[in-house]
Structure 1
Amino acid sequence: MNSPATVLELQQRISAMQPLRLHERTLPTAPELAPLLPGGALREGGIYSVSGSWQLALTFLAPVSQSGAWCGIIGCPDLSAEAAAEVGIALDRCIIVPNPGNRTTAVADMLSGTVTALLTKFPAEVPPHDAEHIAARLREQGSALIVMGDWRRTDAEIRVTDSRWLGLDTGRGALRDRELTVRSNDHRGPRTHKIRFAGGHLAPQQSPVRLVATR
């Protein structure tokens, strides 16, 4: 998966299989994640940073792949295909390049012009020129980039500040649900949210989420 020839071959195959898009400005997004994002959805050409939870980062890709579009996961060697499937990612619409090493930026640049949503963990800070080139490719393709970690310019910064497990099964000692406290920061200012997972999937809040503006 690391050779340029292999990536180019994948690009050609995916371009032929991508569903036609009618110039949408937003991408499919789970309603539970809408409060984290300006406009309530991933935006074409948008860049978002996520810190503190692979589970949360992966969840942004699920609705995109379920719609029939392609997504990609780059630079996450410890992340299994099973973990991606558990949050709802359609594996037959997902390219996983687990360990591109020092070619992470080059692979991300190529796939950002091919897939509709891309999750990437860069091993080091991306030089400004390369970051601008990736951003331009995203805008041209109408795709979104989710960066695990920091990025120079983002549409939203999303950071998990607390995580707790809920719902011990009686007699089993198994933790079933997980609740994340998430801090988002975008043009609306910083806010705090609660995101809950049940059995690995996003769960609707039992009561309306109260957004807390923080300074």
Structure 2
Amino acid sequence: MLDAFDELVRLRTGSAYAVDSPSLAMALVAGASRAGEWVAIVGAPEFGYEAAAAFGLDLARTIAVPSPGEHWQSVTAGLIDVAGIVLLRPPAPVAEQQAARLRSRLIQKDAALVVWGEWPRCHQRLSIRSSSWVGLGQGHGRLTGRQVEVAVSGASDPGRTTSIWLPDPDQRVRRLDEVAAPVRLEDHSRLAQRAG
């Protein structure tokens, strides 16, 4: 895992994790990729590979199947054979029986599954509770970072939350306390008034 998630979640082989945002999905698979794992991404044609690479995803060890269509389950099962972590965006609601088949494959192959969407009986569920962007002034500027509050819950976990940069102004995923808060444009004008 990336350091920002250290006290929040640990990916375990044989388990499935559900996320509600592409940024969370990118951050989870990026940590495994940095550790040397092959990553497969299934059913996400709009996935932001450039942003994921900034988080730490090694594109040279990434397999992408953007549109598997009705064969998404067999494609995912096949990729579990070769990748340590698979990111899946199911095209439709997933039945318990479908999830159970893939769960047994994950256990057999020592792989983990990150699902961008809902997943029956997942090990943990991560969701963004609140989000705020930094970098814009009054009508000008550009977005440079995003602060989010991430909630984690699971079958044996009552739930925890933490605040992280997703990403910070350097386009990295880090804890809020690791990065000095950027000075907003309106703060610059106040400082100039005091100095003048």
Question: TM-score w.r.t. structure 2 length?
Answer: 0.82
The AA in structure 1 aligned to 2:174 is A
2:177 to 189, 201, 206: 206
Specify the alignment match of 2:129 in structure 1: 161
1:106 to 74, 81, 93: 74
Identity of aligned residues (%): 31
Any conservation in 1 of the 2:95–2:120 contact (CA below 8 Å)? no
Specify the alignment match of 1:47 in structure 2: 16
Distance 2:24 2:138 in 1: 27
Question: TM-score w.r.t. structure 1 length?
Answer: 0.75
Distance 2:150 2:54 in 1: 21
The AA in structure 1 aligned to 2:117 is G
Any conservation in 2 of the 1:121–1:147 contact (CA below 8 Å)? yes
1:64 to 32, 46, 59: 32
Aligned positions of 1:83-122 closer than 5 A: 83-122=51-90
Deviation of 1:31 (Å): 1.9
Specify the alignment match of 1:6 in structure 2: none
1:137 to 81, 105, 115: 105
The AA in structure 1 aligned to 2:19 is V
**Counterpart check, 1:76 vs 2:44:** yes
Any conservation in 2 of the 1:71–1:118 contact (CA below 8 Å)? yes
Deviation of 1:32 (Å): 0.7
Deviation of 1:206 (Å): 1.3
Deviation of 1:35 (Å): 2.9
**Counterpart check, 1:35 vs 2:4:** no
- In structure 2, stretches of 5+ residues that fail to align are 179-196
Distance 1:202 1:85 in 2: 12
The two structures, once aligned, show a CA RMSD in angstroms of 2.0
**1:110-149 CA distances to partner (integer Å, 9 max, x unpaired)?**
1122210111000112233221111011111111100011
Does 165-174 or 141-150 show the bigger shift?
Answer: 165-174
Distance 2:65 2:137 in 1: 36
The AA in structure 1 aligned to 2:126 is I
The AA in structure 2 aligned to 1:180 is V
- In structure 1, stretches of 5+ residues that fail to align are 1-28, 208-215
The AA in structure 1 aligned to 2:162 is H
1:185 to 146, 150, 153: 153
The AA in structure 2 aligned to 1:195 is I
- For the residue of structure 2 that corresponds to 1:201, the secondary structure is coil
Distance 2:109 2:54 in 1: 28
Distance 1:36 1:124 in 2: 28
The AA in structure 2 aligned to 1:200 is Q
Specify the alignment match of 1:152 in structure 2: 120
Seen in structure 2, the aligned counterparts of structure 1 residues 103 and 83 have a Cα distance that, compared at 3 Å, is: farther
